[in-house]
Amino acid sequence: MILTSHHLDITGPLQFDYSDSSENRPVLKLNPYSWTKIANIIFLDAPVGTGFSYATAWRAYNSSDTSSATQTYEFLRKWLMSHPRFLTNPLYITGDSYSGVVVPIIVKEVYDGNEAGREPPMNLKGYVLGNPVTCEVKDISQRIPFGHKTALISDELYESTKKDCNGDYVNVDPTNGACLTDLEMVSKRLEKIYLAQILEPICNFMSPNHTRLKWSRSILEENIINVVSMPLQSRPWCRNYNYLYSYIWANDRNVQEALHIREGTKPEWDRCNESLSYTKDVLNSVVYHRYLSKTSLRALIYSGDHDMAIPYVGTLDWIRSLNLTLLGMWSPWFVGGQVAG
């Protein structure tokens, strides 16, 4: 059994059929790569307020990394007590992106609960994380070395920025003019790059074009292409187009009835709820990985090599800090004779 934050169109049994879908009529098809082919999966909306999850008291919407992890652990305990036939199933807890902070905390809570004899005993085997946030400051700083490795930033600019900023590209001394100048030049090199997938275009549906003047931690939220004003035939393909179908599908009354969503609990489903009162009280989750690495649990950490938002170079850096024994050398891997990573 797998507890995960992934959902429709990623690891779930269904995905949108984009070739047959129209603007207001998304069509679904079976996902041939769904994890449900090999596992029973709980898809969990967390923290409370995300997805279709809700609370009956406003104070319950005040959440944090640690409180959300505790709530997930309690949910899992109650769910397994209500569904005891799954207790013997191997349990893996998974997530991606910011789940990289919360999932290791959840895994530690489950592990410690087992060690303390809390009921029910869970058959915890390990955890899986994709492009995980671990320490936001370090993750963001690693975007510049990644940009250099992928030839988006020149050798000269990278060396100058590295020297002038002393390797810290986030907590910049406002009096360090040389560093600020370098970072502005870096920003100009990256302003038209979609950080989540550097080979894809940046698209936006709401705001007009604009030019970045200063380095910003919010670079991922910026946008270059205003696709609404472009003729349909000349619009670039954008990953954001795919998300539109999820809004139409999830807010359909028939869909919500089929999913047993309680009427009136959520006025509208939103893919990313930016209104949550959420406190990031764990600034670095490596301590949890270090703790778990001393147990018998298994861990799989994977990264997309074109993801600049949470670069693989930062992930490699904290994995190496665990001082684990290396069993195999770095090498490419293949699927059907095609290099895949």
Spatial contact of 110 and 76, defined as CB atoms under 8 Å apart: yes
With cut-offs at 50, 70 and 90, classify the pLDDT of residue 173.
very high
Q: Which residue, 21, 101, 26, 83, is CA-closest to 251?
A: 26
Q: What is the mean pLDDT of residues 64-90?
A: 96
Tell the residue number behind the tokens 């349990």, with chain if given: 91
Q: How high is the pLDDT of residue 245? A: 83
Residue 216 has pLDDT above 60, yes or no: no
Q: How high is the pLDDT of residue 204? A: 62
The pLDDT tens digits for 280-327 are 999 999 999 999 999 999 999 999 999 999 999 999 999 999 999 988
Q: What is the mean pLDDT of residues 105-117?
A: 98
Q: Is the pTM of this model over 0.85?
A: yes
**How does the average pLDDT of the chain come out, rounded?**
86
Q: What percent of the chain has pLDDT above 90?
A: 62
Beta bridge partners of 96: 130
End-to-end CA distance of the chain: 27
Residue 340 has pLDDT above 60, yes or no: yes
The region that residue 34 occupies, defined by phi over 0 for left and psi between -120 and 50 for alpha, beta otherwise, is: beta
CA distance 128 to 9: 18
For the CA atoms of 83, 87, 92, 93, what is the dihedral angle to 10 degrees? 40
The pLDDT tens digits for 150-162 are 999 999 999 999 9
With cut-offs at 50, 70 and 90, classify the pLDDT of residue 176.
very high
With cut-offs at 50, 70 and 90, classify the pLDDT of residue 4.
low
Q: How high is the pLDDT of residue 102? A: 97
The pLDDT tens digits for 252-266 are 999 999 989 999 898
Residue 242 has pLDDT above 90, yes or no: no
CA distance 207 to 227: 9
CA distance 144 to 98: 20
Q: How high is the pLDDT of residue 223? A: 40
Q: How high is the pLDDT of residue 133? A: 96
CATH T-level topology, domain 2-135+275-339 = Rossmann fold (3.40.50)
Q: How high is the pLDDT of residue 9? A: 67
CA distance 310 to 255: 33
Q: How high is the pLDDT of residue 243? A: 76
Q: What is the mean pLDDT of residues 196-220?
A: 54
CA quadruple 95, 99, 101, 107: dihedral sign:
negative
Tell the residue number behind the tokens 């074109």, with chain if given: 306
Q: How high is the pLDDT of residue 3? A: 57
With cut-offs at 50, 70 and 90, classify the pLDDT of residue 209.
very low
Residue 143 has pLDDT above 70, yes or no: yes
CA distance 43 to 75: 12
3-state secondary structure of 63: strand
CA distance 20 to 37: 24
150-154, 240-244, 275-279: least confident range: 240-244
Q: How high is the pLDDT of residue 6? A: 54
Residue ranges per domain, the chain?
2-135+275-339, 153-192+201-234
With cut-offs at 50, 70 and 90, classify the pLDDT of residue 214.
very low
Beta bridge partners of 334: 339
Q: How high is the pLDDT of residue 16? A: 87
Beta bridge partners of 91: 124
With cut-offs at 50, 70 and 90, classify the pLDDT of residue 235.
low
